[in-house]
Structures are given as structure tokens and as C-alpha cells.
């Protein structure tokens, strides 16, 4: 399935729209963007240029998501992967110490050690709820620390590589920024994206019921899809990769 067929399945009438666009000479999402709205409206057999403009907007967003032009998605992805760098992985088996994880102060570090959690790996594998009760701290704080610990451990790398295998999905915030300044977006957005992802992940770990993810965030590794037709019923936000 090429990007044009994907676009037509997601936002058009499937094979009918695909055939019309191919007849008009389109082969990719980029080709759709290059067409004049009036010509695109003709190709789509609609009299409303606004519909054609909307289709182009959807094509632009999809192209950004699958990295068809400019490559903002792969660039962001490689930045995220770079965050789990080789030197950091060496710390996975290291003794817990305050400077290793953001939010881990020396008092908490001592209390963790008193519970037998000496290494980053131990923290990553511990039961969050039990740990929160033993330490008498909010479970969200433990979950956040565990997230950072897992980033240093191998498990996180597997997750990241799985993500890369399955899909290239930047977040909506990335998409918006990439649309206006693709070259600058990666570096500037990386900390924000990381923070947002961590917050969503922490909320999920805090046993919030499924389907209550915040608007604009499908999950820790998911992304908000562009809105469908206004009249169409929308499902709850679900992360297919969870």
C-alpha cells in the first residue's frame, strides 16, 4: 500500500478516490499537495474547493506522519533513540545515586537502598504500587522514576525499536511544529515530547481506566490522528501499540 492509497482509505472513499486521483496523475501524497485545489476538486468529483483543501491538509499531515517529505518524523525518532545512548545503557547495572535519575534525591535513594533496591535495574523491575506504599510517596512519582530507570535499561530500547519497526508516528505537537519549521522542530521539541510522553505513561500506570487518555495524546508512544468527519462517531482514544 503506497501513501496515496493509505490517504484515500483514511480520508476518502477508498478505491474510488484512489482511482480518480491516479487518473489525475497523482502517485503520492506530495502529488496531491502540488495540485491546485480547483483541479483536485475536479479529480475528487466535488464542487466544493473547501473539501479539496481539507483533503490536502489531511494529505500534508499524513505525509508528515509517515515521513514522506522532509523527514521530520524520522529525525525526531532518531533523536528519541539517541536519548537512550550507549553510555547511558552502561548505567543500567550501576548503583543508584541521586544524579543518575531526575527526581531521585539522596534521601529517597537511601530509602530505596534500605528496601534492597540498589541498582537501576532493580528499580525498573520493582512493583510500583508496593514501592510507593513502602516509601510513602505518591505512586506517580515512583512510576516516573521507573520510567527513567527503564530508559536506562534494555527493556526501553526494545520498546523503542519495536516502535520504529511498527510505525513512524510523531505527536500532534510535533506535526504542528514540523509543518511550520521542519528543520528546527526536532531539537526544540524533543524535551517537550519527552515530558508529555512521560506524563501520559505515568497516568496510565496510575491505574486510570482505559479510554480516558487526554485529548491529543493516544498513549505514550501513540499520536493523535487528524479529526474525521464531524458527523462520524468517534471511538475512545486507544493506543494500538500498548
- Rounded Cα distance between 199 and 143, Å, is 10
**Closest CB to other proteins among residues 120, 169:** 169
Q: Using CB under 8 A, pick the residue from 35, 59, 66, 109 that binds other proteins.
A: 66
Stretch that binds other proteins, among 110-118, 128-136, 161-169, 172-180 (CB under 8 A): 161-169
Judged by CB under 8 A, does residue 26 bind other proteins? no
Spatial distance between the Cα atoms of 30 and 226, rounded to a whole number of angstroms: 18
Closest CA to 76 of 199, 214, 173: 173
CB under 8 A: which stretch of 83-91, 126-134, 170-178, 230-238 binds other proteins? 230-238
**Contact call for residue 5 and other proteins (CB under 8 A):** yes
User: Please, what is the angle between helix 15-23 and helix 3-11, to 10°?
Assistant: 130
Between 11 and 147, CB nearer to other proteins:
11
Sign of the alpha-carbon torsion through 209, 215, 221, 224: positive
Residues 162 to 181: which contact other proteins by CB under 8 A?
Answer: 165-169
Check binding of 18 to other proteins (CB under 8 A): yes
Q: Of 30, 64, 60, 33, which Cα lies nearest the Cα of 189?
A: 64
**Does residue 15 belong to the site contacting other proteins (CB under 8 A)?**
yes
> Would you say 2 or 90 has its CB closer to other proteins?
2
User: 217 with 224: CB under 8 angstroms?
Assistant: yes
Which residue intervals of 126-181 are DSSP H helices?
A: 128-135, 139-152, 154-166, 172-180
**Binding region for other proteins (CB under 8 A):** 1-3, 5-6, 9-11, 13-16, 18-19, 62, 65-66, 165-169, 218, 222-223, 225, 228-229, 232-235, 237-241
Amino acid at each position: 500500500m503506497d501513501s496515496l492509497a493509505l490517504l484515500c482509505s483514511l480520508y476518502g472513499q477508498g478505491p474510488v478516490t484512489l482511482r480518480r486521483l491516479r487518473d489525475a496523475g497523482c502517485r503520492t501524497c506530495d502529488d496531491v499537495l502540488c495540485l491546485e485545489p480547483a483541479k483536485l476538486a475536479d479529480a475528487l468529483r466535488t464542487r466544493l474547493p473547501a473539501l479539496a483543501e481539507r483533503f490536502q491538509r489531511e494529505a500534508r499531515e499524513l505525509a508528515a506522519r509517515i515521513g514522506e517529505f522532509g523527514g521530520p518524523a524520522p529525525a525526531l525518532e532518531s533523536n528519541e533513540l539517541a536519548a537512550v545512548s550507549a553510555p547511558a545503557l552502561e548505567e543500567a547495572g550501576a548503583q543508584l545515586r541521586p544524579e543518575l535519575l531526575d527526581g531521585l534525591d539522596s534521601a529517597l535513594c537511601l530509602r530505596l537502598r534500605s528496601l534492597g533496591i540498589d541498582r537501576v535495574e532493580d528499580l525498573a523491575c520493582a512493583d510500583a504500587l508496593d514501592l510507593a506504599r513502602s516509601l510513602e510517596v505518591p505512586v506517580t512519582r515512583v512510576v516516573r522514576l521507573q520510567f527513567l530507570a527503564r530508559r536506562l535499561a534494555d527493556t526501553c530500547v526494545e520498546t523503542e525499536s519495536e516502535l520504529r519497526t511498527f510505525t513512524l508516528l510523531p505527536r500532534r505537537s510535533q506535526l504542528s511544529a514540523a509543518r511550520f519549521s521542519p528543520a528546527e522542530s526536532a531539537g526544540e521539541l524533543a524535551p517537550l515530547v519527552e515530558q508529555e510522553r512521560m506524563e501520559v505513561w505515568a497516568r496510565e500506570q496510575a491505574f486510570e481506566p482505559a479510554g480516558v487518555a487526554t485529548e491529543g495524546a493516544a498513549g505514550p508512544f501513540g499520536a493523535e490522528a487528524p479529526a474525521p468527519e464531524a458527523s462520524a462517531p468517534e471511538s475512545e482514544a486507544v493506543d494500538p501499540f500498548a
